[in-house]
Structure 1
Amino acid sequence: MSTDYLKRILTSKVYDVAIESPLEPAPLLSRRISNTVLLKREDTQPVFSFKLRGAYNKMANMAPGARARGVIAASAGNHAQGVALSASRLGCRAVIVMPTTAPEVKVDAVRRLGGEVVLAGESFSEAYEHAKKLEKKEKLTFVHPFDDPDVIAGQGTVGMEILRQHPDEIEAIFVAVGGGGLIGGVAAYVKQLRPDIKIIGVQTEDSDAMLRSVRAGRRVQLTDVGLFADGTAVKLVGEETFRLARQYVDDFVVVDTDAICAAIKDVFQDTRSVLEPSGAMAVAAAKQYAAQHKLRGKTLVAIACGANMNFDRLRFVSDRAEVGEMREAVFAVTMPEQRGSFRRFCELVGERSVTEFNYRMADDGDRAHVFVGLQVSAPTEPGKIAAHFRKNGFDTLDLTHDEFAKTHLRHMVGGRSRQAANEVLYRFEFPERPGALMRFLNAMNPDWNISLFHYRNQGADYGQIVIGIQVPAGEKKQFRNFVTELGYPHWNETDNPAYKLFL
């Protein structure tokens, strides 16, 4: 099978539709992390993603009769566009099943390319199940997004190009992993010709099916997947891609949302291009890996695998990029409400740039609470700044890694309400679809009063909600059951010290 992949990749028909994407240096990022970072610009493909390589190679190698019946695919967006474009070039029908959470930019693109879009399910896995039913019903030919040798070979041409474009030393190639088609193809090619090059898979904290599977020695199915990096939101990896990952992938790096947002900004500063979250994962991982392994002077290749970004999601990316790059730290500071305290605190802040400052006098009138954001230049700085404030008499909480504080609190500072007795505070992620809030309200006990509500959605596939609800002491168990049965991701923030200070 291994030798077969070399032949399949070398004879792949991808260049009927795909370009040989450039391998470009990222000079600003390279200088900052003291390593040469090369970006494999798959975002420059006709559908702004690598996915058309595998889709076209599969369809071009189909028996004419199978292709003539029409094809069907399940995809969150990028594979869908690859199949739709390939179908238009090859003159056949294409039905694409996409999850209802797929970004609008991807749905519209598929329709423009002539694909018949069917929206079903909230994740790739649910869309896949629906597509398999339609396949049998309408006698269409299924084009799998990753678990097919022809698809894997098509994606493997990315690795072939990298070795041809940069025959010199490469420390590692970083590859975002969803179902595993891209990393399977790239690894199968590169490892047989250049076994010295490390292949590093990249996953998000909330969609790490391949990493869990490799560690377990068997395919592990996730119950839920995150939706921010929708292109890699896969609950179960492929059988063949899992086999290839176990055989060829050297290591995995897990990145979070803030690191991805920072990477999107890094690529924009170097190229003036905007990657989608999945497209920037490899860049985030290259930075993280270089820092962890203290690399200097090495060549790191990051596959920028897609750029199908909803424009309104940029609000979210911009807001989180500074934290992800550790350029912003946020703190809750308590100061005595006495003459000169405010000035003394500002003197401690010194020359640092202030990104946010919210001040609120406490109910007792003896203290004030300050929510402050400061620009920093190193990951170690927030702890040092907090210690500096405490040393000078100001009680301080470092909230730099507090999700509740970063997403909600900074926009809500205002103080507690004396009327909000028995208040519990919960943070939810509501799916961004009609009726999600009404489902919550209809399921809630009408005797419970909402005492605080804050909604925030900056272009992600879910809305960020924080809710204060007055629940009598004897009904706490009933409330916990309500929250569990609702099924939305949730976090109890009632004991969050920042909530106690500000809300």
Structure 2
Amino acid sequence: MSTTERVVSDMMISLADVEAARERLRGAIYCSPCAYSQMLSALTGQQVYLKLENLQMTGSFKERGALNRIALLTPEQAGRGVVAASAGNHAQGVAYHATKRGIRALIVMPLATPLVKVTATRGFGAEVVLHGANYDEAYEEARRICAAQEMTFIHPFDDPAVMAGQGTIGLELLEQVPGLEAVVVPVGGGGLIGGVACAIKESNPSIRVVGVQTSRLPSMAVAVEQHQPVTIPPGTTIADGIAVRRAGEVTLPVVERYVDEIVTVDEDEIASAILTLLEREKTLAEGAGAAGLAALIQKKTSLDGLRTAVVIGGGNIDVTLLSRIIERGLVQDGRMIRLRIHLLDKPGALAELTKLIAQHRANIVDTLYNRAYYGVNLGDTTIDITLETRGPEQVQELLAALDDGGYVYSRVI
């Protein structure tokens, strides 16, 4: 065995590691419910169970891995404290469980981190250092502080102990869903899916494990294809919890061994899944948390009719972003539409238009009436109208009525 092969072998986790992690976490981590969803099962054509990790104390599965790593600190390491780099869920998990055990926690967050996340991390007892324009720069600063102060760095995913902690979700799924046939897991750096897949496959190899990434940052899919971590170009996504540019060195071999399939979903599909969870399950998920369900709804996986557990990884979402996501989801589902309609500039023209809209039971949300722009002729005007509808069928009925009424219009996208 070469040196490289020996290092990889030493970093691989086992079922025993996950079971040991479960004992360390017992009594300190909430065993989140995994409820059957009749409505989502009907929508997807599968038997869907939702593993609600958004109900954890810090709103995310991340605290499982953080706590397992903290529990393995020696007394000397605990006395010097821990450091992490994160803009969200990992920061809060480390802060909460370190502080609860009287361990100093220092979190480096990018300068652009939303105030609500900074406040939440400080609220859990951590010292927060704002540094750098992005995660990479925050990570480098965290490593510098770690070395200078001889503290212990807790990586968000690329650590066997962190991976084993996340894997406890897999053990719970096996107990909560009798006859489990498939598990769908959001993927960023690979810590969550690596741990869950190890626990699942080592217990029952016939259960399929499917990973889901955002199409804007498919770092693990690229790494699996090229059999090595690859740094991909930066991108923005509403699934910021899985917005990882490079898969982990430790997690990749585990993913390659145990994961059956990795698929991607786009921004509109994620937004629609968030909206579906809110409306049909009364469950709030962040973008990364809803990615797995998005893959099922959009038929992106090879699963068909299987008894499937979907990990809802977290629910920490900024309310202003949530507002935009809801609106985007409504547009994606055909329940909100914006039309630019040309009218004669005469008394009663707008009243005739609104009467037609009312007859087809569409609700006007917003209007912008304009004579000077859009290149309209003198004597004409243009109005932008945003409408709420029941769905695509009602939209088609309304558009047909506009055609019959002789209106010139276009959809604003």
TM (normalized to structure 1)?
0.70
Tell me the matched-pair count.
Answer: 397
Indicate whether 1:65 and 2:76 are aligned: yes
SS in structure 2 at match of 1:192 = helix
Indicate whether 1:369 and 2:377 are aligned: no
Going from structure 1 to structure 2, the CA distance change for 1:130 and 1:382 (only over 3 Å counts) comes to: farther
Whether the 8 Å contact between 2:157 and 2:248 is mirrored in structure 1 is yes
2:50 matched residue in structure 1: 39
The code of the aligned residue for 1:322 comes to L
Pairing 1:351-366 to 2, within 5 Å after superposition: 351-356=360-365, 357-361=367-371, 363-365=376-378
2:338 matched residue in structure 1: 330
Indicate whether 1:149 and 2:157 are aligned: no
Q: Deviations over 1:340-382 (max 9, x none)?
A: 9874896589625244454544541354434344556666886
1:30 matched residue in structure 2: 41
2:16 matched residue in structure 1: 7
Q: Deviations over 1:413-438 (max 9, x none)?
A: xxxxxxxxxxxxxxxxxxxxxxxxxx
2:113 matched residue in structure 1: 102
Whether the 8 Å contact between 2:44 and 2:296 is mirrored in structure 1 is no
Alpha-carbon distance in 2 for matches of 1:333, 1:216: 50
Pairing 1:136-215 to 2, within 5 Å after superposition: 136-170=147-181, 172-215=182-225
2:130 matched residue in structure 1: 119
Pairing 1:240-251 to 2, within 5 Å after superposition: 240-251=250-261
Indicate whether 1:315 and 2:296 are aligned: no
Alpha-carbon distance in 2 for matches of 1:216, 1:387: 50
Indicate whether 1:261 and 2:271 are aligned: yes
Whether the 8 Å contact between 2:180 and 2:309 is mirrored in structure 1 is no
SS in structure 1 at match of 2:26 = helix
Whether the 8 Å contact between 1:87 and 1:93 is mirrored in structure 2 is yes
Alpha-carbon distance in 2 for matches of 1:383, 1:293: 32
Whether the 8 Å contact between 1:26 and 1:267 is mirrored in structure 2 is no
Whether the 8 Å contact between 1:225 and 1:234 is mirrored in structure 2 is no
2:5 matched residue in structure 1: none
Q: Deviations over 1:222-245 (max 9, x none)?
A: 332315332222222211222222
Alpha-carbon distance in 2 for matches of 1:379, 1:298: 29
Q: Could you tell me how far 1:106 is from its partner in structure 2? A: 2.5
Going from structure 1 to structure 2, the CA distance change for 1:187 and 1:325 (only over 3 Å counts) comes to: farther
Alpha-carbon distance in 1 for matches of 2:171, 2:258: 15
Q: Identify unmatched segments of 5+ residues in structure 1.
A: 403-503
SS in structure 2 at match of 1:252 = strand
1:56 matched residue in structure 2: 67
Q: Deviations over 1:253-310 (max 9, x none)?
A: 33333333332332233443422222222222221227x8795x54332211112223
The code of the aligned residue for 1:226 comes to T
SS in structure 2 at match of 1:11 = helix
Q: Deviations over 1:106-129 (max 9, x none)?
A: 222221222111111232222111
Alpha-carbon distance in 2 for matches of 1:366, 1:196: 70
Alpha-carbon distance in 2 for matches of 1:321, 1:187: 31
TM (normalized to structure 2)?
0.83
SS in structure 2 at match of 1:332 = strand
Alpha-carbon distance in 2 for matches of 1:195, 1:394: 61
Alpha-carbon distance in 2 for matches of 1:65, 1:380: 66
Q: Deviations over 1:387-424 (max 9, x none)?
A: 8866875555444xx3xxxxxxxxxxxxxxxxxxxxxx
The code of the aligned residue for 1:311 comes to V
1:284 matched residue in structure 2: 294
Q: Which moved more, 1:28-37 or 1:13-22?
A: 28-37
Q: Identify unmatched segments of 5+ residues in structure 2.
A: 1-8
Q: Could you tell me how far 1:53 is from its partner in structure 2? A: 0.7
2:231 matched residue in structure 1: 221
Q: Which moved more, 1:192-201 or 1:361-370?
A: 361-370
The code of the aligned residue for 1:88 comes to T
Whether the 8 Å contact between 2:12 and 2:250 is mirrored in structure 1 is no
Q: Deviations over 1:115-149 (max 9, x none)?
A: 11111123222211111111111111111110011
Q: Which has the higher contact order (CA 8 A, sep 6+)?
A: 2
